[in-house]
Amino acid sequence: MKKFLLSLAMVVVALAANATTEDITAKFTYTWNNAESLTNNEDGSITFNAVSWGGMAAWLATDEGKCDWSAWKKVVFEFAEPTTVNTQILVGDASAWGDVGITSLECSFEGKDMSAIEQIALQASGATTITVTRVYLSDGEGEEEPAVKTAVLDNGSTHSLPAGDWGWDGSWLARDVTAFNAIVFEISSVTGLGQVTLQGIDINGEEVSDQIEIDKATVYVIDIEDWKTLNQYAFQNINVSSEDAEVPDGETTIVVKQVFLTSETVDEYLINNIHIYAIGNLDGCNGWDPSDGSLELAYDEEECVFKGTISVQDNWEGNGWFAFSCKLGADSDDWTTFNSARLSVTSDYGTLNETAALVTGADQSFKLPAGIYSVTIDPILMTITFATASENAIAGTSAISAAPSAYYSLSGARLAAPAKGVNIVKYADGSVKKVLVK
């Protein structure tokens, strides 16, 4: 289980200039359902007023016979605005599923016999209006695959889970996820205590599941690298006052900004999308400038942590103040952006050789005596540790003498014994430590 606050850079790849295309927008002239309507606009676009699983269609067969699309590799629909419901393309034996929030949808003809096509249709899973700006065939020559593939599953929702009910408020998907390696939950706010549970089938045909607690407004990244199918995910209420409670005795509300799949692995996602910047009274920083990114912590792939060395300046009674954030402001006055992803602890002070829990979005700073320190931020446990630069940032933390009481994988699954790789170890005194087993 990895959770962290970050911003996503979506990758959009345009059609290569040397690909051969054929525009077929004007061929769409009717709908499958009488309750639907289709309007061919003067600018060449189509306004499609859809109902659940009707269809905007084009009849392709003529008196001379059916249409031969064997020379084409795919068909592409482009939309004026992000879709508000799931969509689907149906053409011959080929089909393609479109997620909510997309602005284009393509259907590959690979492995399909496209020599005798009668019609093609675009369907919507619910009542909606879609403006189709263009539909075209492409031979795919010269096109580049996007560096990162993403698929939006939820473009914003609220899940209200009452007391007395564990809840199961989610989506049935039965979605092939072999092209993806992680699922990302961007959570806007949480009241109470919740969790998200995933169920599916792995690449060996075995049933798999995973779950993590949803306890704060942040981003939760879950590894599905070995999954073939994501059958469903659901939000649940686990807000109880004691371990003896048989059902949740408090309400939980989870507000979702977005849920999406990504072809990046969890580590790749952290490397590519998370940056931790330091500003303040530190050598190498341009003072308290929330738009200055000159000092940044580096991500350590082996230990799955962010590390760096800071030199605190003696600017006030032998102490220096500084701050961390995952986002930089647009200019030197943009504190709103910086503070939205600011990383801090419950008090303003930094403490050496002790690990502290991080909070996000709080307008708080760190203070240490003038000197050179190593800093380690753990995006899995959401903790921060300061140590003198001569000490190792992990080994320099307080020793844990209590016996281990439980082992967990990075995805949060409980292990019977330590497994190869990074393990989350919980000790009898309640402390938690990350251990690498080789």
* pLDDT at position 173: 81
Q: Would residue 255 count as lying in a domain?
A: yes
Tally of domains within the chain: 4
* pLDDT at position 182: 93
What are the angstrom distances between the C-alpha of 283 and each of 310, 311, 314?
Answer: 7, 5, 10
Full residue range of the structural domain in which residue 220 is found: 149-270
Say whether both 372 and 282 belong to one domain: yes
* pLDDT at position 384: 93
Q: What is the CATH number of the domain that holds 348?
A: 2.60.40.3620
| Contact (CB, 8 A) for 385 and 393 | yes
- The encoded tokens of residue 159 equal 């899940």
Q: Is the pTM of this model over 0.95?
A: no
Write down which residue in 105, 138, 171 finishes a domain. 138
SS3 content of the chain, % helix, strand, coil (to 5): 5, 50, 50
Q: What is the CATH number of the domain that holds 111?
A: 2.60.120.260
Q: Would residue 174 count as lying in a domain?
A: yes
Spatial CA neighbour of 382 closest among 255, 270, 259: 270
Say whether both 202 and 314 belong to one domain: no
- The encoded tokens of residue 171 equal 């989506």
For the CA atoms of 83, 88, 89, 91, the dihedral, rounded to the nearest 10 degrees, stands at -170
* 242 DSSP β-pair partners: none
- The encoded tokens of residue 153 equal 């599953």
Say whether both 166 and 204 belong to one domain: yes
Say whether both 322 and 414 belong to one domain: no
Contacts within 8 Å (CB) and 24+ apart, 37-41: none
Write down which residue in 114, 138, 162 finishes a domain. 138
- Residue identified by tokens 């039965």 is 174
Residues of the chain short of pLDDT 50, as ranges, are: 1-17, 391-402
* pLDDT at position 118: 94
Write down which residue in 116, 138, 160 finishes a domain. 138
What pLDDT digit, counting tens, does each position of 328-347 carry? 988 999 998 898 889 998 77
Question: 3-state DSSP call for residue 318?
Answer: coil
Say whether both 25 and 112 belong to one domain: yes
